[in-house]
Structure 1
Amino acid sequence: MRLTKQSNYAVRILMYCASNDSLSKISDIAEFYDISETFLFKILQILNASGFVETVRGRHGGIKLKREAKDIGLGEVIRATEDNFDMAECFDLESNTCPLIGTCGFNHALYRALNAFFDVLDEYTIADLTDNRRNIRVLLELDSAVRSAPKRVEA
């Protein structure tokens, strides 16, 4: 199974917000992760509708976590941001053409695998992913000393 960029960026956005002590600027997030603001807004709509983030409008606006990072489960985020989890034709009961549906063990094995996947993801929260907050803040350039330091230019 492979997650979409939407899920990948959604988790990154939540980690960014969890590591930031103030409102996170949409332009800063887009620039840091090198994604378009349009795509970021699409993801933010899902995160907002799912209750993970809230937006603050205005000149000094931005986004922040709506709940504590420890209360946002990784599995919950992935379920909200992925369109489907059809790992094989067996999962799509409406368009399935396999004559063995319901009689072979493949469908059952795939469902067990998918449930195991989510069981593991459900063990983690956004707080767990940002456990090394100090280093993450440096990498995200959220500390004022890092932000104000001149960028190193490679020759």
Structure 2
Amino acid sequence: MRLTRQTNYAIRILMYLAVNKDRLSRLGEIAKAYSAPEPFMFKILNPLVSAGLVETVRGRNGGIRLAREATRINLREVVELTEESFQMAECFETGADCPLIFSCELNAALRQALEAFLSTLGRYSLEDLTKNKGYLHRTLGIEKADAAA
């Protein structure tokens, strides 16, 4: 299974916000940190806001931040939100025309593998991904809140 770019960048946005939790972030600075186009990042941000993972603060000094603690956001939730399809093979599709559809165990095996994959992701929180905050601050070019004051 391969995750889409949208899922990859959704996780990156959330990681950035988790590392920069002491202040508001701007989407432009996040896009710059990941060398990604800002309109692409904006498209990814919308479902994160709608799902209540990210909140926006309007105004001159506005920005975005996590809407929940990083420990309360798990990877399965993010992947299920951002992936359009989990159809790993043609037999997952409605109306598949495989002659073996009712006698082949591939479908069951793939469904079990998918559930194992999602279950594993569910055991990891956003906090788990951002434990090395010092390294992430330096790599992403984030100033620590007390250093910015």
TM over 0.5: yes
Is 1:123 matched up with 2:128? no
RMSD of Structure 2 on Structure 1 (CA): 1.6
The answer for the alignment partner of 1:11 in structure 2 is 11
For 1:37 and 1:132, how far apart are their aligned partners in 2? Answer: 26
The answer for the alignment partner of 2:2 in structure 1 is 2
Q: Secondary structure in 2 aligned to 1:131?
A: coil
Is 1:34 matched up with 2:26? no
Q: Secondary structure in 1 aligned to 2:64?
A: strand
Alignment-mate amino acid for residue 46 of structure 2: Q
Residue 115 of structure 1: CA displacement? 0.5
Do 2:34 and 2:140's aligned partners in 1 also have CA atoms closer than 8 Å?
no
For 2:90 and 2:121, how far apart are their aligned partners in 1? Answer: 24
The answer for the alignment partner of 2:44 in structure 1 is 43
Q: Between the two proteins, what is the percent identity of the paired residues?
A: 51
**1:5-154 counterparts in 2 under 5 A?**
5-20=5-20, 21-94=22-95, 96-143=96-143
Q: Secondary structure in 1 aligned to 2:65?
A: strand
Residue 93 of structure 1: CA displacement? 2.0
**Gaps spanning 5+ residues in structure 2: where?**
none
**Gaps spanning 5+ residues in structure 1: where?**
149-155
The runs of at least 4 aligned residues of structure 1 exceeding 3 Å deviation read none
When the two structures are aligned, how many residues end up with a matched partner?
A: 146
Alignment-mate amino acid for residue 71 of structure 2: K
Alignment-mate amino acid for residue 116 of structure 1: A
> Normalising by the residue count of structure 2, what TM-score does the alignment of the two structures yield?
0.93
Alignment-mate amino acid for residue 47 of structure 1: L
The answer for the alignment partner of 1:153 in structure 2 is none
Residue 143 of structure 1: CA displacement? 2.1
State the Cα deviation string for residues 72-95 of structure 1 (Å, max 9, x = none).
01010000000001100111123x
